[in-house]
Amino acid sequence: MNIGVVNESSKIENRTGLTPSSVSLLDERGHTLYVQAGAGLKSGYANEEYTSQGAKIVFTKEEVFGRSDVVLNISPLNEEEAQLVRTNQILFGFHHLAVAGKKNVENLIDKNVTVIGYEIVQDENGSLPFIESLSEIMGQMCLVISGHYLQTSQSGRGIVIGGVVSVPPATAVIIGSGILARSAARAMLGAGAHTIVLGTRMNRLRELTDMTSGRLATLFASKYNLARMTKVADILIGAVLRPGEKAPMMITRDMVNSMRKGSVLIDLAIDQGGCVETSRPTTLEQPTYEDEGIIHYCVPNITSAVSRTSSKVLSNLVTQYLIEIGEMGIEKVLEHNPNLAGGVYIHGGKIVKKSIAERFGLK
């Protein structure tokens, strides 16, 4: 099987689809690896590290798509890349079709490809291995990001998260009760923040309470409670995740306007459209902007800031599926592996996720 890895640096993406370690495992099993020159540089991997493990370096995306049966990308395909896709190829990556352009989706359908989204692959327990692994990183990053932008020099409120003797800690309000919320809550509690989580699933809120031995305050995410809690938030984290679907709008502009000026808002759902009315995508080069006096951090590929750790996690997870496909073929794998099958957006010239088909008015 021919496996290709594209260089995504032009899309302000620092992560890479495969690490040299994974390349060595796949090479041992007789697969041919085509890695676009520079694909691993921002994750700390030189071209020579790939070739030493058996990969072939190619110099254009056209070569990667032209030679590969399977193509690995991290961030969603842009229009140029979608045009390069060949008929019957298998595409792995964060595709986020819920917020993709209809033209790209129709192009992929016409080419009869199999599109597998990391963000919707599930394991036997119903959890999302790619998202859950990156969520551990994102939770820790929320702590670093909010701590930095709360500083006076960054136009923040000028407070420390954990507080000190005679000064109370910062209040962190987290919207959502799933994987992202759990990770963010653990990080904030660990730093000493007064942490409040609002969600709509009572069983998950109960799990969060048990996990933190009751140190976490939980509320039902009604409009009334959301409006009350945003007013007291020094840090507001949108951690709403609906796998494969557009994120619901939870925080209105009026709620943002009611927050204390210089507070920090991190929208972790921005990859899927965002859950805050004032959110718009930013980049790692220009990660923040101010709206209603609130510092917004809305970077879609947030874990790209720690690209080496993130690349290792993603590479380790996808390699097991690549080995399986190489041994059995994609049809048999999808038939016998419901976990990977759950991650398929498009197969056999059809969208296989009802919510995505409905969004685009397609079958």
The three-state secondary structure class of 350 is strand
96 classed as catalytic = yes
Angle subtended at Cα 342 by Cα 336 and Cα 343, rounded to the nearest 5 degrees: 115
Say if residues 215 and 242 touch (Cβ distance below 8 Å): no
Instruction: Measure the N-to-C terminal CA separation of the chain; round to a whole number of Å.
Output: 31
**List of domains in the chain:** 2-126+307-360 (3.40.50.720), 132-300 (3.40.50.720)
CB 130 within 8 A of CB 317: yes
The pair of structure tokens assigned to 3 is: 């496996």
pLDDT at residue 244 greater than cutoff 90: no
Distance from C-alpha of 355 to C-alpha of 98, rounded to nearest angstrom = 8
Compute the distance between CA of residue 353 and CA of residue 344 in angstroms, rounded to an integer.
8
What are the start-end ranges of the H helices in the chain? 20-28, 47-51, 61-67, 79-84, 102-110, 129-149, 179-190, 202-211, 223-232, 253-257, 307-328, 330-336, 338-341, 354-360
The DSSP secondary structure of 119-155, one letter per residue, reads: GG---TTS--HHHHHHHHHHHHHHHHHHHHHTSGGGT
Question: Per residue in 154-175, pLDDT tens?
Answer: 999 999 999 999 999 999 999 9
* 110 part of the active site: no
Choosing from 96, 194, 296, 347, the catalytic residue is 96
In tens, the pLDDT along 165-206 reads 999 999 999 999 988 899 999 999 999 999 999 999 999 999
pLDDT at res. 249: 95
Is residue 32 scored above 90 in pLDDT?
A: yes
**92, two tokens:** 């792995």
Report the alpha-carbon distance of residue 345 to residue 29 in Å, rounded. Answer: 28
Please tell me which residue in 31, 234, 267, 271 is annotated as part of the active site.
271
- What percent of the chain has pLDDT above 70? 100
The per-residue pLDDT for 363 is: 85
Average pLDDT over residues 16-38: 97
CA distances 314 to 97, 310, 354, Å, are 19, 6, 26
Residue 44 has what pLDDT?
Answer: 96
Task: Give pLDDT tens digits for 100-147.
Answer: 888 889 999 999 999 999 999 988 777 889 988 998 899 899 999 999
Mean of the pLDDT values across residues 66-73?
97
What mean pLDDT comes out for the span 276-304? 95
Average pLDDT over residues 316-341: 95
Mean pLDDT of the chain: 94
